[in-house]
A and B are shown apart, each in its own frame.
Chain A
Amino acid sequence: DTAVSQTPKYLVTQMGNDKSIKCEQNLGHDTMYWYKQDSKKFLKIMFSYNNKELIINETVPNRFSPKSPDKAHLNLHINSLELGDSAVYFCASSQDLGVYQETQYFGPGTRLLVL
C-alpha cells in the first residue's frame, strides 16, 4: 500500500539513450515533484507540478521533460542520457502548493546509472 511509488527502482543504460521514470501517488495530493540526489548527496528539486501544471523548473537541461497525465502521476523522461545524469531521482508529493507547512512525501528513489 505504497503512498508514492516509482518505477523502475534501478536503471542502467548507455550514454545517448532515452529513458523514462514513472511516479505515482495514491495520497490524493495535488502537487508532485522530482528531485535529483547526485554523487555528493545534494538533494535538489528539479520540477514541481500542481494539478498537472508546471510550477517549478529549476534550470534543468531541456533533455529532461516531466509529463503529468493526471494529478496522481508525474513521469520524467530523459533524452540523450549523459554520464552526469547518473544519480538517484526521487519523486515526491504534497497536498497543496503555497502552504509551506505541507509535508512532502517521497518515493523510494530510482537509481540511474549511465555507462
Chain B
Amino acid sequence: DQQVKQNSPSLSVQEGRISILNCDYTNSMFDYFLWYKKYPAEGPTFLISISSIKDKNEDGRFTVFLNKSAKHLSLHIVPSQPGDSAVYFCAASGAGTASKLTFGTGTRLQVTL
C-alpha cells in the first residue's frame, strides 16, 4: 500500500525554466511533508518542508505547494540549474508518528543546457 506516490519517474527541463515535481498522498493523517534531494551514491539530503497548516513554503529557488483537499503537493524550482539534476523524494509524516517518514519512489530530474 503506497501511501505517498510520485507518478512521474523522470522529468527533463531546460536550464532557466521552471521544474515542477508532483507528489500525491492517500493518508489523511499525514500533516507534515518534506522534499529530499538525492545525488548518485549519496544519501538523501533535506530540501524543504511544509506543515499542513500552510499551503505554501518558499526557500530561495524552491517552493513547495500543498493542496490538502486534493492530497497533493508539488515542488517548484525556479530557475532550474544543471546542479539541480538529481532524484527528488517526497516524504510525509503524521501526528503520533513524528519521526516516521513515508517516502515516495522519487522523480529523477534532469536539467539540460
Central interface residue in B49, B100, B106, by most chain A CB within 10 Å:
B100
User: Which parts of B57-113 form the interface with A (CB within 8 Å)?
Assistant: 89, 93, 98-103, 105-106
CB <8 Å contact, A101 and B49: yes
Specify which of A41, A90, A102, A107 is in contact with B105 (CB 8 Å cutoff).
Answer: A41
> Chain A interface residue count: which class?
20 to 34
Shortest Cβ gap from B49 to chain A (Å): 7
Known contacts A98-B99, A100-B32, A42 near B105 by CB under 8 Å: yes
A-B contacts, CB under 8 A, total: 59
Number of residues from B at the complex interface, CB < 8 A: 21
Known contacts A41-B106, A100-B32, A101-B32, A56 near B44 by CB under 8 Å: no
Measured between beta carbons, the chain B residues less than 8 angstroms from A97 are 98-99
Let me know if A105 is at the binding interface, CB within 8 A: yes
CB <8 Å contact, B46 and A105: yes
Instruction: Point out residues on A near B: beta carbons under 8 Å.
Output: 4, 31, 33, 40-45, 48, 55-56, 58, 90, 92, 94, 97-109
Instruction: Point out residues on B near A: beta carbons under 8 Å.
Output: 2, 32, 36, 41-46, 49, 51, 89, 93, 98-103, 105-106
